[in-house]
Amino acid sequence: MDSYDVVVVGAGAIGLSAAYWCSKAGKKVLLLDQFDFDNDFFSSKGESRFFRVMYSNPHLSLLAQSAYPLWRELEDDSGLDGILNDTSLLFFGPPSGVNTPEGDLKDSQAVLEEQGLPFTRLTAADFPERYPALKGLSDDVVGLVQPQAGVIAADRALQALAQLCRKQGVTMIPRRTVSRIQDAPGQVTVTTAQGDYTGKKLILVPSAWTNPVLDSLNLQLELEIWTMTYAYFTVAQSQYNYPLWFYFGAPQFPGDDQTTYYGLPPLLTPGRLKVGTDFTFQKSPLPPTSPPQADPRMVELLNSFMRAHFQGLQSLAQDPVGCLYTMTPDLNFVLDALPGHPDILLFTGDTGQAFKFTPLLGKILAELALTGVTQFNIQPFSIQRPGILRPR
């Protein structure tokens, strides 16, 4: 039985990144996934993702600023340019816009000011000239425009990471479902139906399947799996300049969180906008047993929103897609060693925000696995913080 310096379970973006950084350090690395490496369950699937430093959480803003040069390093290492495509980002909505997993307008402005990041604040009078593609906005609409943002070519990023892993000697094995984990000082053994795999360190990035993977260690986390929906809209790209944007709507009642929409410009999808919601009606404590599907109710909400607020639509929602978010109660990641298991590291609770941090999160996991410490502040992601570990 081969033994490795590091075994990584979960071959989405963060798992690939962790394997990349560990192998870049000259370590012998094994990467396992329960599915094929390109599958419809991946939270990492799709052609595009946001990059931004505009956050209402100051810690995430700082981490995003640290992630940016690592994306450029990934482009340089892989020889694949166009992974991160720079553009500005617009947050907009009424001043009373709801606080969502993506933050809100008021706190985002406070963080930009606190960290000295450039931005422009817009009032309703500014929108017709600055963003003529938008319509139907309230008289009190406000906006924040921040230039340090971009569109990540997600499929290209996964391609770059996989190529580098193979080039650096990572053993990559698909269709291996973890049924048991055992550890002793200096050695961790992962059991699958096809056999056992051992390593000095184990990095777990199991996303929606976190609790099944942790079950043999008598650990469970308070996680909820959200099935999200996005779709594509054909637009008059030659007539209008469509931005990268988030809309924070006003709540209609206390606790209403169903007012946040986002859209990506046609940088990677010529003539089409990618548009989604930051809320869902489909939430479950269990991972899915079949690939996630788009919710027709969400598609109708997307159609209504786009008809009301965007010029130049040439279609309603096309090619709707379902994807998974793994949510923690406080909407923050979990990135830590497992209690009582110092040789096992866990990243989970992507909360729909992790992809933009891919090279940074992989680097942090690699630093922890190889040296036991990281140069980055991960205290907010502690597994020991209140509400994360489920009593057993």
Q: Report the pLDDT value the prediction gives residue 388, as an integer from 0 to 100.
A: 98
> Is the pLDDT score of 265 beyond 90?
yes
Number of residues that this document lists for the chain: 392
Least confident of 78-87, 121-130, 249-258, 316-325: 249-258
Q: Report the pLDDT value the prediction gives residue 392, as an integer from 0 to 100.
A: 75
Report the 10 Å Cβ neighbour count for 124. 15
Q: What is the average pLDDT across 352-375?
A: 97
Return the percentage of the chain with pLDDT > 90, whole number.
90
- Per residue in 162-216, pLDDT (tens digit) is 999 999 999 999 999 999 999 999 999 999 999 999 999 999 999 999 999 999 9
What are the residues whose beta carbons fall under 8 Å from the beta carbon of 355, sequence distance 6 or more? 13, 43, 44, 49, 50, 152, 154
> Is the pLDDT score of 217 beyond 80?
yes
Q: What is the average pLDDT across 274-283?
A: 95
> Is the pLDDT score of 38 beyond 90?
no
pTM: 0.96
The residue ranking higher by pLDDT, 293 or 41, is 293
Q: How far apart are CA 233 and CA 242, in angstroms?
A: 12
Q: How far apart are CA 76 and CA 123, in angstroms?
A: 40
> Is the pLDDT score of 129 beyond 60?
yes
Q: How far apart are CA 84 and CA 29, in angstroms?
A: 27
Q: What is the average pLDDT across 132-147?
A: 96
> Is the pLDDT score of 40 beyond 80?
no
Binned at pLDDT 50, 70 and 90, residue 1 comes out as: low
**One-letter-per-residue 3-state SS of the chain:** CCEEEEEEECCCHHHHHHHHHHHHCCCCEEEECCCCCCCCCCCCCCCEEEEECCCCCHHHHHHHHHHHHHHHHHHHHHCCCCCEEEEEEEEEECCCCCCECCECHHHHHHHHHHHCCCCEEECHHHHHHHCCCECCCCCCCEEEEEEEEEEEEHHHHHHHHHHHHHHCCCEEECCCCEEEEEEECCEEEEEECCEEEEEEEEEECCHHHHHHHHHHHCCCECCEEEEEEEEEEEECCCCCCCCEEEEECCCCCCCCCCCEEEEECCCCCCCEEEEEECCCCCEECCCCCCCCCCCHHHHHHHHHHHHHHECCECCCCEEEEEEEEEECCCCCCEEEEECCEEEEEEEECCCCCCHHHHHHHHHHHHHHHHHCCCCCCCHHHCCCCCCCECCC
Q: What is the average pLDDT across 254-275?
A: 88
Q: Report the pLDDT value the prediction gives residue 36, as an integer from 0 to 100.
A: 85
Q: What is the average pLDDT across 58-82?
A: 97
Binned at pLDDT 50, 70 and 90, residue 42 comes out as: low
- Per residue in 288-343, pLDDT (tens digit) is 999 999 999 999 999 999 999 999 999 999 999 999 999 999 999 999 999 999 99
How many C-alpha atoms does 142 have within 13 Å on its Cβ side? 14
> Is the pLDDT score of 255 beyond 70?
no
Give the residue among 229, 215, 214 at the shortest CA–CA distance from 281.
229
The pLDDT mean for the chain works out to: 94
Q: Report the pLDDT value the prediction gives residue 80, as an integer from 0 to 100.
A: 96
